[in-house]
Amino acid sequence: MTELPARRLLLVHAHPDDESINNGATMARYAAEGAHVTLVTCTLGERGEVIPPELRHLTGAALGEHRLRELTAAMAELGVEDVRLLGGAGRYGDSGMMGLADNDDPDCFWRADVDTAAATLAEVILEIRPQVVVAYDDHGGYGHPDHIQAHRVALRAVEHAARAGWTVPKVYYNRVPRSVAEAAFARLREELPALPFPKSAAVSDVPGVVDDASITTEIDGTAYAAAKAAAMRAHATQIDVAPGERAFALSNELAQPLFTTEYYQLVQGEPAPDDGRNRESDLFAGTGEVA
Ligand SMILES: [Zn+2]
């Protein structure tokens, strides 16, 4: 087996597109800096609503196959080469939005046994030995069953891996500081007449918004803004990126700010020794592996 780079980052996501929206700039930055970036996506998102009218005939497995191609294209934009579907493509089905009958499908991720799925993910952790794992919080950021389940599986897999010999030094949740979200929406509402979307979403529509004090880490991805926007555009069935690349909408057509600085909360492991900043500026800070 070839030797992996010294710095290794693993991100766990529910559907193709979540990684580009939440972490596109972070992933592009670390890939460009020579870190090994591994994305594990738990489902193919085959119950997602499709935006372009000409692609709305895609449903079920056909949509899943299409979204896998979108994911591959998005990762090419970010320079990320190690992309995996948990248990193999199609192993876990999209569970649909919370409260739908889809949630009861025995093949959906929401119904999956957490320990079994976590054991599969733990194999990836033991292979890669990442210093950093990025996951959702216990609400999945916004309550989608697949996101909640991705949280459970990721955290359980970290436990499995620790028992089997690799303790992940740092585990983070995807976050957005409330003040940043509020300021971005204020700007967005002013820009709305020039955007191709009829209305603005609200702060409460953004996954992972928390009080600023909870934020431990801020990754400046300004240099990778174009890569992030291109990756989001690659998910054309799910995301509509506005010209100017400062806003986007999902299938609800509500404008949201496109963040190129991405935020995290350290939930396991030691924060970097205080370098005089309020927040870490590197997910690997303190692990002994620096750029
Ligand atoms: Zn999702």
CA of 43 from ligand 1 middle (Å) equals 9
d(CA 183, CA 232): 22
Residue 287: CB atoms within 10 A of its CB come to 20
CA of 146 from ligand 1 middle (Å) equals 7
Amino acid identity, position 49: E
Please enumerate in sequence order all residues whose Cβ is within 8 A of that of 38, keeping only pairs 6 or more positions apart, or say none.
8, 9, 10, 11, 82, 83, 84, 124, 128, 130
Per DSSP, the three-state class of 262 is: strand
CA of 196 from ligand 1 middle (Å) equals 23
Give the pLDDT of residue 276. Answer: 66
d(CA 196, CA 254): 10
Residue of 105, 37, 7, 79 whose CA lies nearest to 234: 79
DSSP 8-state class, residue 189: H
Q: What are the two backbone dihedrals, phi and then psi, of residue 143, each rounded to the nearest 5 degrees?
A: 95, 0
CA of 3 from ligand 1 middle (Å) equals 32
Q: Is 151 annotated as a binding residue?
A: no
Please enumerate in sequence order all residues whose Cβ is within 8 A of that of 195, keeping only pairs 6 or more positions apart, or say none.
188, 242, 247, 255
CA of 147 from ligand 1 middle (Å) equals 6
C-beta of residue 40 within 8 angstroms of C-beta of residue 121: yes
Angle of helix 60-78 versus helix 18-32 axis, rounded to 10: 30
Q: Is 139 annotated as a binding residue?
A: no
d(CA 30, CA 124): 19
Q: Which two tokens stand for residue 254?
A: 């509500």
Q: Is 18 annotated as a binding residue?
A: yes
Write the CA distances from 197 to 169, 209, 240, 247, integer angstroms. 42, 22, 9, 9
CA of 278 from ligand 1 middle (Å) equals 30
Residue of 28, 248, 6, 283 whose CA lies nearest to 132: 283
Give the pLDDT of residue 275. Answer: 67
Q: CB-based burial of residue 247 (10 Å sphere; 0-12 exposed, 13-18 middle, 19+ buried)?
A: buried
What pairs with residue 218 in β-bridges? 263
CA of 115 from ligand 1 middle (Å) equals 21
Give the pLDDT of residue 289. Answer: 80
CA of 276 from ligand 1 middle (Å) equals 36
Q: Which two tokens stand for residue 59?
A: 């449903």
Strands 132-135 and 209-210: unpaired
Q: Where are the alpha helices (DSSP H) in the chain?
A: 18-32, 60-78, 114-128, 145-164, 178-191, 225-234
CA of 18 from ligand 1 middle (Å) equals 5
How long a stretch of residues is the chain? 291
Question: Which parts of the chain register pLDDT below 50?
Answer: none
CA of 177 from ligand 1 middle (Å) equals 20
Write the CA distances from 29 to 66, 109, 227, 258, 260, integer angstroms. 26, 30, 9, 16, 11
d(CA 24, CA 227): 8
Give the pLDDT of residue 274. Answer: 72
CA of 97 from ligand 1 middle (Å) equals 10
